[in-house]
């Protein structure tokens, strides 16, 4: 008998069984146990992003130290598991980074999610984000993985524009 696969609908559950095991474990760990899921009231940088296609919504706050390093990161993510896992991983990776390092990481991740070849050195810097390579097989989910990083970039741009005007 021919069994028809159910068509994808918006804001649906991601079928983790379709991901390679290695990728699945990393992403699921963050989805089940999100890191830094809290609001930072006195944040220096506030980022938000919305993915209308999936219904994902992300808010990220960064508190900086005197050298413009990331002292604290908090996030609130709503939506699908891929987006939530990506936001959790972002907050973990950003702590202690300079803003330049954060941007470099974001660029490297965007490149990876476009399927561009990545040098070993850059791939290592991506850490757990490498797990999202498994999502490249599901083009509909790529934006979900990128949303927190796109939100970060626009938040950083806003911040830079703001301090320039001071």
Residue numbers at the binding site for Zn ion (CB under 5 A): 54, 56, 79-80, 83, 144
| First-residue to last-residue Cα distance in the chain | 69
For the CB of residue 115, give the shortest distance to Zn ion in the complex, in Å: 19
Nearest distance from C-beta of residue 132 to Zn ion, angstroms: 12
| Axis-axis angle for helices 81-94, 139-164 (nearest 10) | 40
Q: Could you tell me how many helices (H) and strands (E) the chain has, helices first?
A: 5, 3
Please identify, using beta-carbon distances, which residue of 112 and 135 lies nearer to Zn ion.
135
Q: Which is nearer to Zn ion, 80 or 93 (CB)?
A: 80
* Minimum CB–partner distance for residue 122 and Zn ion (Å): 25
CB nearer to Zn ion: give 13 or 164. 13
**CB of 74 or CB of 148, closer to Zn ion:** 148
To the nearest whole angstrom, how small is the minimum distance from the Cβ of residue 152 to Zn ion?
Answer: 17
- How far is it, in rounded angstroms, from Cα 4 to Cα 19? 20
Instruction: State which residue, 55 or 128, has the beta carbon closest to Zn ion.
Output: 55
> What span, in angstroms and rounded, lies between the C-alpha atoms of 94 and 36?
11
Min dist CB 10 to Zn ion, Å, is 9
Print burial letters for 16-43: b (CB count within 10 Å at least 16), e (below 16).
beebeeebeebbbbbbeebbbeeebeeb
Write phi, then psi, for 41 (nearest 5 degrees): -70, -45
């Amino acid at each position: 008998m021919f069994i028809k696969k159910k068509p994808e609908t918006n804001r649906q559950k991601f079928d983790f069984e379709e991901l390679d095991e290695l990728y699945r474990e990393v992403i699921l760990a963050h989805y089940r146990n999100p890191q830094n899921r809290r609001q930072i009231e006195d944040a220096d940088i506030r980022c938000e992003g919305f993915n209308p296609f999936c219904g994902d919504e992300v808010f990220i706050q960064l508190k900086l130290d005197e050298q413009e390093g990331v002292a604290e990161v908090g996030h609130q993510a709503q939506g699908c598991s891929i987006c939530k896992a990506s936001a959790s991983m972002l907050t973990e990776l950003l702590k202690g980074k300079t803003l330049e390092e954060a941007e470099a990481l974001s660029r490297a991740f965007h490149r990876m999610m476009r399927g561009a070849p990545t040098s070993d050195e850059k791939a290592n810097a991506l850490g757990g984000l490498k797990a999202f390579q498994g999502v490249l097989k599901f083009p509909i989910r790529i934006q979900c993985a990128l949303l927190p990083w796109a939100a970060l970039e626009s938040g950083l741009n806003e911040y830079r524009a703001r301090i320039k005007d001071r």
